[in-house]
Structure 1
């Protein structure tokens, strides 16, 4: 989960996740929303994928990226457990 927090610390990666929340996209489609190089987009996608926040699927010549909610669910569970521990101390 630490990799996910690190991945979320970058505003470009957060914006990529927001785009993927609407619909799955390939790297070229994602790059259209940014004024950075395609290799930089690929780097951000690799970080998101390695953290488990997104998955990719090959469809013909394209690799389509989409959100994987599993890590988000784990993070929310951690936050809720953390909050509940704080509530019990009051």
Structure 2
């Protein structure tokens, strides 16, 4: 594969990763993700539980959870009137891995 083909693939990777990069680029959303990753609870956490651990307001947590959900990084499970948020194991974060691997392939050709 020539350099131009590789660059075209990387350009497409960047486009595919835009929403994920924007979502995880925010420090507040990073702290929410760390809370979700650090919990022993496999069923997910409610907004109130995330609020307690991040010291953010409920509206702020809800806002950031929506962005993370829209990016495909977290999922929500409803149980009656309760919503539980958890990391999506088939997350779009894997797109970042593809991007990095494609960049490494291109750069390997130069060194």
Matched, 1:86 2:102: no
Higher Rg of the two aligned structures: 2
CA–CA separation in structure 1 for the residues paired with 2:93 and 2:24: 11
3-state SS in 1 of match to 2:23? helix
TM-score (normalised: structure 1):
0.89
Matched, 1:14 2:34: no
What does residue range 2-81 of structure 1 map to in structure 2 within 5 Å?
Answer: 2-23=18-39, 24-69=44-89, 70-81=91-102
| Deviation (angstroms), 1:34 | 2.6
CA–CA separation in structure 1 for the residues paired with 2:75 and 2:69: 6
Q: Greater strand share, 1 or 2? A: 1
Structure 2 unmatched runs, 5+? 1-16
TM-score (normalised: structure 2):
0.74
Structure 1 unmatched runs, 5+? none
CA–CA separation in structure 2 for the residues paired with 1:8 and 1:89: 30
3-state SS in 1 of match to 2:86? strand
CA–CA separation in structure 2 for the residues paired with 1:18 and 1:35: 13
Aligned residue-pair number: 90
CA–CA separation in structure 2 for the residues paired with 1:57 and 1:35: 23
